[in-house]
């Protein structure tokens, strides 16, 4: 008797991740930017400054609009169970307290479960949460929690190191200061060997 072929389930449809919230109203933003500058005593009548309100509006719209992406995953056919880590992913965001930029790098890693993630998606996930008014502590946890929920790995680790211009250019003017935050979930939090490996590879003291 002929053996019946084993049905292979189709791959899951990638999750389409798109920006939330309302679309930017650039006309209203430009008008508000002009009013903001004039309220600070800055005239926008000169040739150099005439287009500044529009440029401000477009710049902030870009900073607050992440690019959509597909969360592409693949079956972990080989049962790979060691750390996957993307180091020094460029980061830019905007402090929600002063609306000044903070920039730096993020290290994002995970211990695979049933599926593995397309490596470029780690940068996409970071951008998705960074393109909004933020605080670094929340951003770090949002990236880790989202990966844990969507990928269901055995562990997730996120470390962010950034320079905040709200601290270096104003106020205390502590030039050169960087802020580090971390979130560890699953085995990267509870297993000493896995935790130590992650912290070593991200150049943090264990």
Q: Annotated active-site positions, please?
A: 95-98, 136, 164, 166
- Asked if 108 and 86 count as a contact pair (C-beta separation under 8 A), the reply is yes
SS3 20: coil
In DSSP terms, 198 is beta-bridged to none
Residue 185, number of CB atoms within 10 A of its CB: 20
Cα–Cα distance for residue pair 2/67, rounded to 1 Å: 51
Taking every pair of Cα atoms in the chain, the longest distance, rounded to a whole number of angstroms, is 89
Q: Exposed, middle or buried, 24 (CB in 10 Å: 0-12/13-18/19+)? A: middle
């Amino acid at each position: 008797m002929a053996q019946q072929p084993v049905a292979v389930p189709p791959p899951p449809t990638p999750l389409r991740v798109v920006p939330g919230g309302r679309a930017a109203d650039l006309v209203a933003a430009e008008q508000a930017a002009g009013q903001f500058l004039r309220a600070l005593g800055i005239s926008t009548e000169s040739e150099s400054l005439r287009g500044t309100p529009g440029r401000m509006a477009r710049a902030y719209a870009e900073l607050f609009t992440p690019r959509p992406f597909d969360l592409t995953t693949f079956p972990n056919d080989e049962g790979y169970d060691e750390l996957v880590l993307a180091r020094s992913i460029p980061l830019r965001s905007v402090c929600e307290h002063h609306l000044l930029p903070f920039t730096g790098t993020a290290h994002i890693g995970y211990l695979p479960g049933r599926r593995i993630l397309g490596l470029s998606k780690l940068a996409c996930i970071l951008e998705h949460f960074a393109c909004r008014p933020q605080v670094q502590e929340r951003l770090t946890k949002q990236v880790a929690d989202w990966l844990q929920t969507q990928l269901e790995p055995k562990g997730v680790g996120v470390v962010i190191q950034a320079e905040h211009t709200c601290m270096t250019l104003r106020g205390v003017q502590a030039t050169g200061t960087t802020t580090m935050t971390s979130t560890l979930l699953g085995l990267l939090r509870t297993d000493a060997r896995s935790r130590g490996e992650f912290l070593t590879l991200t150049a943090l003291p264990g």
